[in-house]
Structure 1
Amino acid sequence: MTGGRLRTWAGLVVLCMGGAGLGTAFAQTPLTLEDAIRRAQGDTSDARALASSIEEAHARIQRAQAGYWPRVDLAETIQRGNQPVYVFSSLLSQRRFTAANFAIPELNHPDPITNTRTVVSLEQPVYNAGLTRLGVQAATLERDLATATRDTARQDLGFRAAQAFVRVLQLEANVRAADAAVTAAESDRQRAHARREVGLVTDADVLAVDVQLADMRQRHIAAAGDLDVGRLQLAEAVGLPLTASIVPIRPASRPAPADGDALVQEALTRHPQLLQSSIQLQLAENARRTARAGLLPTVSLQGGWEFNGATLGAQQSSWVFGAEVRVNVFRGFADSARTTEAKHAHARAIAERERVERRIELGVRGALTQFAAARAREEAGRTALRQARESQRIIRDRYEGGLATVTDVLRAAEAALEAESRATNADMDVILQTVALERALGRI
């Protein structure tokens, strides 16, 4: 093969490899922590289910507002029989009653008659002690409660996505650490073999290094498998296809918050759980007013048009209008029990609001403490990692000089890997505690 053809084939191979790399790069999905939270709160099936609950609440408001409008019913019946009262009333309704129908035999043993009856009825509430208005207010409060409940659930969805996001970052760091540990173990193995060749170490030392290398490779395989599962869980949490190649982007470090009291006050003004308890209190007050309104009279207008005839084409019309006043005199003490129930429910809602306020303050102050502890662990972990790596370097140099055993080398390698794992966990915990603080403040 000539040099020109060789260069051509080499160029084609490089081009194909580059194209494959570009295809892989284009298939990857970069994802920031903010995007993960936003997608979890809006692009998942759980988020869509929460949105549907708000639409349900809107429909309940419209249903409650129907009490302001008149009720109109249309009924069509066809009957046939010779029951005396039925025949008598049907003939009157059809305006076909004659003097002959007063005959005693005719009254007692009438001939069968068919009656087609069309009724249009109307009822318009005029006064019901504000029950319709209270019902609309209750439905509106329930809509607001559904919104606050949705916001609380959205916080849970966002935090779950953040946990999955941080988990993938942590597993990626574990894979990198395991890969570095394998590389270091391979280097130690080569060094041990070289020393055995010159008679400085025994076969037992080489075998111990081989066991260490096998263990590091097993850890690398396990870490890679955990990372694949973590990516699947992250894709599910943010509503992406499970086959998506997600590349999480590590968020920038945030400064520690200074004024805890100011953060508590912020949470007490915006947290959705506090809004929920406030709406529950308003609903309890609405129930108290509704219970009292049930003791008052109601007034309504009623009317109807009626058409009766032997056939539809022969019907005769009639109408009736009137008003009804209904007074609640006695219902077996149900009204007093309902009033007592509403009173205690209102007291319970007040206590619940106080409990939520204290729980929110506890959550904020606890999140601040956990954030500060995570920052301290992060710094301590980095320091310990630097020391472990330096100790590993020194022991390797001592091993080269014959001043340390292979056991010292293996122990130092294990200590360095453990220190890196703790440092990674502390580093990821800072990110997660940052999201936890945002959740405690009601910001996500």
Structure 2
Amino acid sequence: MRHTNYIGAFIAFICLILGQPIQAQVHQLTMDNAVKLALDKNRDLQVATLETAKSAQKVQEARGYALPTVAGSAQYLYYINKQVSFLPGSFVGLSDNQLATFRVGGSNALLGGVTVSQPLFQASVRSGIRVAQLDESATTEALNDVRATVVTVVKKAYLDVLITQEQLRLQQQRVARNQQALKDSRSLLAQGRASRVDTLRAFVTVENLRPTVIQLTNRIGITKTILKRTMGLDELEIIDLQDSLRYDEALFSSPGSDAFLDAVQARPEVRRLELIEKLNREQIVLQAAEKQPKLSAIGLVQSQSQANNFQLGDYKWPVSSFVGLQVNVPIFTGFRTNSRIQQAQITRRQSETQVANLKAIVRAEVKIGLANVEEARLRIETQHQTITVAELGYRITSDRWKQGISSRLDLSDAELSLTQAKSNYLQAVYDFLTATVDLDKVLGRVK
């Protein structure tokens, strides 16, 4: 009975534990931590990393063509009708123009051997290795490009969450100001110093602001979902952002006078295209090498035996072997090699055009990126002063309204101007931060 009570108590305890809601772990994320998580968990980056591993194996494969090839073979044959050999008829008393047939060999035939082939001269092997190495380097630059893109996207997604949170906070402040105005209006109405219309207008203003609060609250969840997906986190994970949306010009390092040249040298996609151009040049050499002769050393060791039974211990296993040189000289391939050379030359010209086009795009992106940063910085300075003036105007208008000097409409206009000034400043800070993130990618400064 005592054991039964213990078991019942244990089961009840387990049920109690299982019945409690499991508290999900909250990730306290700074922007730097978000970037580190993304570099570790982002699936696009994982795919690009695997691609670099595959290109490294291609280099090993290309080098393998310069190594000897060793192949073993074994064969068993059962002759339903034994092999036939032909001899001159004179051997068996027939006329000279007749042939005699003899069935020779055993019913069971066994054959085994080892073949070795070592390339001695094959120009395509060296070119193939260089092509594989260039492809590996280009794939590494593609990985760097994906990494820079992931870092940029994560930072911008992080900023999207921050600005949405700040917009919600700004809207909640606006609701609080209008709720206070509604409270003051009701108080003044009770004193006979405000009209019922002003009170109704204040009530309607407060209620019209509530849907925006709901919308922004929902948008925070959406932007966090996008951020988690970009970082590679599960949808059920809970994140709490620790950074704030603030303006600090010291965080932005202005590029030098040769920003375009620095960007061209630092951008991984530019380096990748330049490597692809070199790869395409080497492809021409590789295809041309197919016209050259190929020299290989070959060898064979072989043993065979035949018998009419399976008494393997009585079998004779004579061994034959040879070594030699094999030359393969292409004479006519149906113009396939020439066609492949022409294709490689066209591809090289395409890559040259792509490199020139990308450099022109980089030049434009640098110019646009610098202009966006400067524009956002000027807007921040202007809006910072505007907020100070708007706050002073709202306080003066609020005091005048309480004294019955200003109308409710004047107070609404002052409150709207204050909200707009804060919203414009918030948007300018967001635009400045996103512009610096974009500019870092444009200049190739994302590490």
Q: Name the residue aligned to 2:295.
A: 299
**1:251-303: CA deviation from partner (whole Å, max 9, x where unpaired):** 76234655553222211222101111110111011111112211111111112
Q: Percent identity?
A: 19
8 A Cα contact 1:149 1:276, kept in partner? yes
Counterpart in the other structure of 1:405: 407
Amino acid at match of 2:301: W
Is 1:123 the counterpart of 2:117 in the alignment? yes
- Greater Cα offset, 296-305 or 195-204: 195-204
Residue 275 (structure 1) aligns with: 271
Q: Secondary structure at the match of 1:74?
A: strand
Aligned to 1:5: none
CA distance, structure 1, for counterparts of residue 85 and residue 319 of structure 2: 17
Is the contact made by 2:247 and 2:429 (CA closer than 8 Å) also made in structure 1?
no
Equivalent AA in structure 1 for residue 135 of structure 2: E
- Do 2:45 and 2:147's aligned partners in 1 also have CA atoms closer than 8 Å? yes
For 1:253, which of 248, 251, 258 is the aligned residue? 248
Q: CA deviation at 1:71?
A: 0.7
What does 1:141-290 align with in structure 2 at a 5 Å threshold?
A: 141-242=134-235, 243-250=237-244, 253-255=248-250, 258=254, 261-290=257-286
Cα deviation, residue 383, structure 1: 2.8
- Asked whether the equivalents of residues 285 and 346 of structure 1 are also in contact (C-alpha less than 8 Å), the reply is yes
- TM-score normalized by structure 1? 0.84
Distance 2:41 2:85 in 1: 69
What letter is aligned with 2:279? L
Do the aligned residues in 2 keep the contact of 1:126 with 1:300 (CA within 8 Å)? yes
* Residues 65-120 of structure 1, C-alpha deviations (whole Å, 9 max, x = no match): 11121111112221122566x5659xxxxxxxxx99x996653x668722122121
Which whole-Å deviations, capped at 9, do the CAs of 1:236-261 have from their partners, x for residues lacking one?
32344542332231376234655553
Give the match for residue 47 of structure 1: 45
Alignment map for 1:29-48 (pairs within 5 Å): 29-48=27-46
Q: Distance in 2 between matches of 1:293 and 1:39?
A: 47
Per-residue CA deviation, residues 315-341 of structure 1 (Å, 9 max, x unaligned), is 432223222111111111122222222
Gap regions ≥5 residues in structure 1: 1-23, 90-98
Q: Secondary structure at the match of 1:287?
A: helix
The aligned amino acid for 1:199 is: G
2:365 to 353, 363, 387: 363
Hey, what's the Cα distance between the residues in 1 that align with 2:391 and 2:196? 27
Please tell me whether the aligned partners of residues 82 and 112 of structure 1 are also in contact (alpha carbons under 8 angstroms).
no
Contact 1:54 1:146 in 2 (8 A): yes
Residue number among 75, 78, 85 corresponding to 1:77 in the alignment: 75
* Distance in 1, Cα, partners of 2:85 & 2:157: 80
Residue 187 of structure 2 aligns to which amino acid in structure 1? A
Distance 2:358 2:120 in 1: 41
User: CA 1:248 to 1:122, structure 2 compared with 1: closer, same or farther past 3 Å?
Assistant: same
- Matched AA of 2:303: F
User: What amino acid sits opposite 1:173 in the alignment?
Assistant: E
Relative distance call for 1:88 and 1:387 in structure 2 (3 A) is: farther
Cα deviation digits, residues 337-359 of structure 1 (max 9, x gap): 22222222222222222222222
Aligned 8 A contact 1:185 1:212 in 2: yes
Structure 1 residue 226: Cα displacement: 1.6
1:415 alignment counterpart = 417
Equivalent residues of 2:84, 2:101 under 8 A apart: no
Using the TM superposition, name which of 209-218 and 152-161 deviates more. 209-218
Output the amino acid matched with 2:336: A
The separation in 2 between residues aligned to 1:377 and 1:306, in whole angstroms, is: 86
Q: Which amino acid aligns with 1:31?
A: L
Aligned mates of 1:173, 1:200 — CA distance in 2: 36
- State the secondary structure of the residue aligned to 2:112: strand
Structure 1 residues 254 and 38 mapped into 2: Cα distance closer, same or farther (>3 Å)?
A: farther
Contact 1:267 / 1:442 at 8 angstroms: preserved in 2?
yes
**CA RMSD of the aligned region, Å?**
2.7
Is 2:313 the partner of 1:318?
no
> Partner of 1:3 in structure 2?
none
Match 2:379 to one of 371, 377, 380: 377
In terms of fraction of residues, the more helix-rich structure is 1
Number of matched residues?
407
Q: Could you give the per-residue CA deviations for residues 362-399 of structure 1, whole angstroms, max 9, x where no partner exists?
A: 21121111111111122223233333333322222221
SS of residue paired to 1:261: coil
Q: Distance in 1 between matches of 2:152 and 2:254?
A: 23
After TM superposition, list the pairs within 5 Å mapping 1:91-130 onto structure 2.
106-107=101-102, 113-128=107-122, 130=123
202 and 254 in structure 1: CA distance in 2 versus 1, 3 angstrom threshold: closer
Bigger drift between 75-84 and 347-356 goes to 75-84
Aligned pair partner of 1:59 in 42, 57, 60 = 57
Return the alpha-carbon distance in structure 2 between the equivalents of residues 300 and 77 of structure 1. 26
Cα pair 1:31 1:246 within 8 Å, conserved: yes
- Which deviates more from structure 2 when the two are superposed, residues 409-418 or residues 66-75? 409-418
Tell me what 2:429 maps to.
Answer: 427
Whether the 8 Å CA contact 2:85–2:101 is kept in 1: the answer is no
Check whether the contact 1:80–1:114 (CA below 8 A) recurs between aligned residues: yes
Unaligned runs of 5+ residues in structure 2 are 1-22
For residue 32 of structure 1, report the CA deviation from its aligned partner.
3.1
Structure 2 distance, partners of 1:221, 1:82, is: 89
2: CA distance, partners of 1:113 / 1:304: 25
The residue type paired with residue 435 of structure 1 is V
Amino acid at match of 1:430: F
Mapped contact 2:397–2:411 kept (Cα < 8 A): yes
Which one-letter code corresponds to 2:423 in the other structure? Answer: S
Identify the residue that residue 327 of structure 1 maps to in structure 2: 329
Output the CA distance in 1 between the equivalents of 2:255 and 2:230: 33
Cα separation, partners in 2 of 1:245 and 1:38, compared to 1, 3 Å:
closer
Whether the 8 Å CA contact 1:71–1:122 is kept in 2: the answer is yes
* More moved, 274-283 vs 113-122: 113-122
